[in-house]
């Protein structure tokens, strides 16, 4: 018989998401377009309740003979991922209505994508991991091309699908090699295996596939194009929830499935190289960008490089730093993409950075909030993002990763230029045309993200203590 209590401890949020997704498909088939309007708020409610369930079952558990196992470390990521997905869904409603693409399928795709995130975070077996990866990926491909009448959206979805299929193949081939040499697919069996040459080759292929999921160089090439072409609320989702979930899963796999000394030495070097390449590619790639969404795409690549420094620092030093940094990044990214969604005029959405000119004189509240968020994501010491980057620097220092620390500082200084350029345009350039009023959810997200970035800087001690206690569950 199934142990219901153990199952709920391990995957209660995923059970809710699966039930809601299947029920939503049934309701949509019965009611059709009449379900469109209500599906967004219902979907967001389901995602928020899922985040609450992850917090309720904070200590996690183990179920299905070890196929799934969660800890407070995974549940921390679930809370952030599900909550940010719910906010992204609420921000999408008005945008899709204005573009005549408001359909209940969007909400269902978001729910199934969140289910995929939950599955990969709960997995303790490579089979479960791959199931979750594909559920998240397939939902994301459709979301990227959801604006069917837009050639840019269709192109973004196609590029994402083709390159994503390649990355999934590499990941699966790596899993098969690791299974062949380890004799099992559970993280425990892999951790107990001898790190032979074939085993290491499979591990490298897995790292390559996982690097695509977090848009780390050199598997980053899809990111700027998909960010630019996909609908803005979809990109707000891509830049937050899946990034948090995928990066935490990357860390869990490296720390728990490949702890052998020789494996650690090799994957630390590989992850370090990927982190350095991501930081430099992201920083230099963003410099010439005029499109704000494309710039944020390169910014995402650089920030994933910073996060990978924490992964390369190892389980002892990097776990807490990873949680602090990724939380700061998710909060800032939600607000910044709320700013992108605010850039609308009578002719439609505008995305050029110059369209923000003189925003302080037109919408001083929005300009101030965006300035706080840009300061946060740049790592300047006036918002929570500074503490996230400082935590990563400390982790790298303690682990002796001096080359990565130097590259992190250099790329951060370069990134400061293009973030402050946007601030300069908003505050000092000649005033451009006014934006049209946007939905309350979008405006609230921008303001609340800015407020959260400041408050978490001021009251950082409770959050740091929470991150440290959460990290201890994985370290132990």
Both tokens of 195, joined, read 């790190």
Is pLDDT above 90 for 279?
Answer: yes
Instruction: Taking the CA atoms of 323, 57, 184 and 132 in sequence, report the sign of the dihedral they define.
Output: negative
Residues 353 and 295: their CA atoms lie apart, in Å, by 9
Mean predicted confidence (pLDDT) in 334-343: 89
Read off the pLDDT of residues 243-266 as tens digits, 9 standing for 90 and up. 999 999 999 999 999 998 888 899
The pLDDT of residue 168 is: 93
pLDDT band at 476 (very low <50, low <70, confident <90, very high): low
> How confident is the model at residue 352, as a pLDDT?
86
What is the chain's Cα-based Rg? Answer: 21
> How many other β-carbons are positioned within 10 Å of the β-carbon of residue 435?
18
Q: How far apart are CA 52 and CA 63, in angstroms?
A: 20
Q: How many CB atoms lie within 10 A of CB 335?
A: 27
d(CA 398, CA 405): 11
Q: Give the dihedral of Cα atoms 222, 443, 453, 245; nearest 10 deg.
A: -40
pLDDT over 80 (residue 475):
no
What is each CA distance from 456 to 108, 134, 230, in whole angstroms? 32, 34, 31
Residue 347 pLDDT: 65
CA-based angle 210:211:216, to the nearest 5? 155
Q: What is the mean pLDDT of the chain?
A: 91
Contact in structure between 211 and 168 (CB atoms under 8 Å): no
Whole-number Å distance between alpha carbons of 36 and 107: 9
Q: What residue segments make up the domains of the chain, in order of their start?
A: 4-475
Q: How far is CA 348 from the centre of its chain?
A: 27
Give the C-alpha separation, 32 to 22, whole Å: 15
pTM score > 0.85 for this model? yes
CA distance linking residue 74 with residue 77, whole number of Å:
5
Using CA atoms, how far apart are residues 412 and 280, in angstroms rounded to an integer? 9
Q: For residue 210, which of 281, 287, 307 has the smallest C-alpha distance?
A: 307
Phi and psi angles of residue 68, each rounded to the nearest 5 degrees, phi first:
-130, 140
Looking from the CA of 44 toward its CB, the CA atoms found within 13 Å total 15
- Residue 138's contacts (CB-CB under 8 Å, 6 or more residues apart) are none
Dihedral pair phi/psi, residue 196, rounded to 5°: -80, 175
Each residue's pLDDT tens digit, 34-56:
888 899 999 999 999 999 999 99
Q: Is the pLDDT reported for residue 463 higher than 90?
A: no
Ordered alpha helix ranges (H), 429-459: 440-458
DSSP H or E run through 411: helix 402-428
Whether the per-residue pLDDT at 320 is higher than 80: the answer is yes
Closest by alpha carbon to 334, among 242, 432, 236, 450?
236
Cβ neighbours of residue 405 closer than 8 Å, sequence gap 6 or more: 309, 393, 396, 397
Give the distance, in angstroms, between the CA of residue 9 and the centroid of all CA atoms in the same chain.
24
- pLDDT for the residue 118: 96
Q: What would the two tokens of residue 168 be?
A: 């999934």
Mean pLDDT confidence for 235-246 = 94
DSSP summary character for residue 133? H
> What is the percent of the chain with per-residue pLDDT over 70, rounded to a whole number?
99
Report which secondary-structure segment, H or E, holds 349.
Answer: strand 348-349
Cα 423 to Cα 370: distance, rounded to the nearest angstrom:
8
Digit-coded pLDDT (tens) for 107-129: 999 999 999 999 999 999 999 99
Cα–Cα distance between 16 and 341 in angstroms, integer?
A: 30
* Pick from 434, 440, 462: nearest CA to 362: 434
Mean pLDDT, rounded, for 262-278: 94
The DSSP letter of residue 437 is P
Q: Any residues with CB less than 8 A from the CB of 459 and at least 6 apart, and which?
A: none
**What pLDDT shows up at residue 152?**
86
Residue 1: is its pLDDT beyond 60? no
CA 272, CA 267: separation in Å to the nearest integer?
8
Tens of pLDDT along 392-446? Answer: 999 999 999 999 999 999 999 999 999 999 999 999 888 877 777 778 889 999 9
Residue environment code for 440-469, b if the CB has 16+ CB neighbours within 10 A, otherwise e: ebbbebbbbbbebbeebbeebeebbebbee
Position 206 scores a pLDDT of 95
């Amino acid at each position: 018989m199934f142990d219901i209590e153990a199952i709920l401890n391990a995957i209660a949020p995923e059970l809710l998401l699966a039930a809601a997704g299947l029920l939503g498909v049934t309701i949509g088939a019965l009611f059709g377009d009449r379900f469109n309007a209500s599906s967004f708020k219902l979907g967001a409610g389901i995602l928020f309740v899922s985040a609450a369930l992850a917090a309720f079952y904070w200590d996690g558990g183990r179920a299905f003979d070890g196929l799934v196992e969660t800890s407070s470390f995974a549940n921390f990521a679930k809370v952030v991922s599900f909550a940010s997905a719910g906010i992204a869904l609420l921000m999408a409603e008005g945008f899709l209505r204005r573009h005549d693409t408001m359909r209940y399928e969007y909400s269902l795709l978001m729910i199934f994508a969140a289910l995929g995130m939950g599955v990969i975070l709960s997995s303790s077996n490579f089979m479960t991991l791959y199931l979750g990866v594909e559920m998240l990926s397939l939902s994301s491909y459709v979301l990227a091309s959801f604006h069917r009448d837009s050639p840019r959206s269709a192109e973004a979805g196609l590029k994402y699908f083709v390159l994503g299929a390649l990355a999934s193949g590499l990941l699966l081939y790596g899993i098969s090699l690791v299974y062949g040499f380890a004799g099992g697919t559970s993280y425990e069996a892999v951790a107990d295996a001898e790190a032979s040459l074939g085993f290491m080759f499979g591990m490298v292929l897995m790292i390559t596939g996982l690097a695509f999921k977090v848009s780390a160089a050199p598997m980053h090439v899809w990111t700027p194009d998909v960010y630019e072409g996909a609908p803005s609320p979809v990109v707000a989702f891509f830049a937050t929830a899946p990034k948090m979930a995928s990066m935490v899963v990357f860390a869990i796999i490296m720390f728990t499935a490949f702890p052998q000394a020789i494996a650690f030495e090799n994957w630390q070097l590989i992850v370090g190289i990927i982190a350095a390449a991501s930081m430099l590619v992201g920083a230099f790639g963003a410099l010439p960008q005029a499109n704000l969404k494309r710039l944020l795409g390169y910014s995402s690549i650089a920030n994933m490089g910073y996060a990978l420094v924490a992964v390369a620092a190892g389980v002892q030093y990097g776990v807490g730093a990873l949680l602090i940094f990724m939380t700061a990044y998710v909060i800032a990214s939600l607000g910044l993409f709320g700013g992108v969604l605010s850039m609308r005029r009578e002719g439609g959405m505008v995305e050029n950075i110059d369209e923000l000119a003189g925003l302080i004189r037109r919408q001083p509240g929005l300009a101030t909030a965006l300035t706080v968020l840009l300061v946060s994501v740049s790592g300047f010491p006036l918002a929570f993002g500074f503490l996230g980057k400082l935590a990563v620097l400390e982790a790298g220092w303690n682990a002796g990763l001096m080359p990565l620390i130097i590259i992190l500082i250099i790329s951060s200084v370069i990134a400061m230029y293009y973030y402050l350029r946007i601030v300069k345009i908003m505050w000092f350039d000649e005033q451009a045309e006014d934006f049209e009023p946007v939905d309350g959810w979008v405006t609230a997200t921008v303001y609340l993200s800015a407020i959260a970035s400041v408050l978490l800087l001021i009251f950082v001690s409770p959050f740091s203590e929470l991150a440290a206690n959460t990290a201890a569950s994985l370290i132990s």
